[in-house]
Amino acid sequence: MLLRLIVLLIFMSPVVAATLWFSDNAGTVQVEWLGWYVDTNIPVLLGILLAVFMLFSGLTRLSALVADLPAKLGKSRQARGREKGMLALLAALDAAESGDVGDGRRLGAEAARLLDSPELAARLDRLIPRPAAPPAATLRPEPAKGRLFAKKPPAPPVVEREPPPPVKAAPPPAPVAVVETPGAPADPSAEDAAAFAAKLRDGEWAAAQACIDATLSAGRLSPALAARWRAVVLQGQACLDSQDDPARSLRLAREALAADPGFLPAALHVLRQEVSEGRRSEAEAVLAAVWRSAPARILLETCAPLWHEDDAESRLKRLEALAEWAPHDPEGHLAAGEAAVAAAKWGVARRHLMAALKIAPDALGCRLMAEIEDKEPGGAERAEIWRRREREAAAAPTWVCEACGATSGSWAPYCSACGAGAAIQWTRPAHKPENPPTPASVPPSAEAPPAPAEPRVSRIQAESKIEKL
């Protein structure tokens, strides 16, 4: 800006000098053209010439803007198309994750069309499975087929459908089959879950995949849960091969993540490999893809070595962007609030921490709020309140078995305490331990609380006695 001002002054100084000289030596100018006579002085003539020059310059710039207007409109239209394509792509991934394969494929095709990317269409076609063929029970109602085919040929279909009056007279089975088949049950039966868990405990991965296919084709398993079980099988293999064959282990983890984009153990496996090899852009791409569906602080802890050279402002901006991707989850707000405290941005830290604590009470958020109140004048009482809330807050998230509530230090395909398969999730335990063991001193298997075991066994025995009665 200063350089432009200096250049302007240099170019304006001769004009000012000439203006002062002509004001002292005005002179006269006479113009005669086609019977017109003009008498004026030199300064007025120069002013007229300057006005004409500025008029032509303005007309030139206006014509250039008009000429560039179609290109700018086309670029804005392309930008809007890309934005709509990205929204459609995210909606397709969310629909596929929730088990709505039909909407996922439709939205994926729309996203590929808006983004003008045939490669994206092919990739989505591979990632999102085709809708399963309707079960035979939905194709059984003979009266409906008879009505459809009776419109095309005249007599033969009617003759064909005429003989089964008894089938028409027994309508109860057909409606029941049609009502039950549209959606698979939310939870598999105890027999199916026990058979799958047994395959996992024995390390029979191919048999576990066959068990998933059989249960899914029988209509006793939802597509979303089938995708999660497939991811568990693939990640279990990846954990076994992590020492002997790292390349195959990484490939299996990627396949597990492709089967279930929100599967946290597979995402952590891929992230650790990318971080260990220093591939920052690939690791950040995996983090961005997983964070929208499964935000967890353990993902940020895994990626922390990539950002150790960044300053506090850069880390804060990155974590605020993650918090915007999942605004209704406390993990992103907690991470952004911690980064804001490190950067001494007290207002930003308070905003993110209060947003996180409104969603779910957390010990880390309470401790950071106490630090912020200590910085404020007269905030000692408020800081003590936050420290009391920290002591009363729930335990930090860890690997918890959904079946028995046992905790462990790492993920496994089945629970070592109760043997349930695909039951270990990253979540907060139901009860906060009074003296939580440190990971270095206690093995992961020792973190399972033994107290609920007897009530759970007695409850199962009571239920079995009730069933016998």
Residues 88-146 pLDDT 10s = 888 878 777 777 777 777 887 888 788 777 777 777 776 776 665 554 444 444 444 43
- Cβ partners under 8 Å of residue 407, min gap 6: 398, 399, 400, 401, 429, 447, 448, 449
Half-sphere CA count of 415, side-chain side, radius 13 A:
23
- Supply the DSSP string of 76-119, one letter for each residue: HHHHHHHHHHHHHHHHHHHHHHTT-HHHHHHHHHHHHHHHT-HH
User: What is the b/e burial string over 151-160, where b = at least 16 CB atoms within 10 angstroms of the residue's CB?
Assistant: eeeeeebeee
Return the SS3 of 31: strand
**pLDDT score recorded for residue 322:** 84
Taking a C-beta distance cutoff of 8 angstroms, is the pair 424, 407 a contact?
no
Q: Which of 375, 364, 308 is nearest to 336 (CA)?
A: 364
The pLDDT assigned to 132 comes to 57
What count of other Cβ atoms lies within 10 Å of the Cβ of residue 30? Answer: 8
Intervals of the chain under pLDDT 50: 135-182, 434-469
Please, is 242 exposed, middle or buried when counting C-beta atoms within 10 Å of its C-beta (0-12, 13-18, 19+)?
Answer: middle
CA distances from 26 to 42, 44, 296, 341 (A): 6, 9, 81, 70
Identify any residues that bridge with 38 across adjacent strands, giving them in sequence order. Answer: 31
pTM as predicted = 0.52
For residue 156, the model assigns a pLDDT of 45
Q: What is the pLDDT of residue 129?
A: 65
- The percentage of the chain sitting over the pLDDT mark of 90, rounded to a whole number, equals 13
Contacts of 174 (CB under 8 A, 6+ apart): 140, 141
DSSP state of 444: G
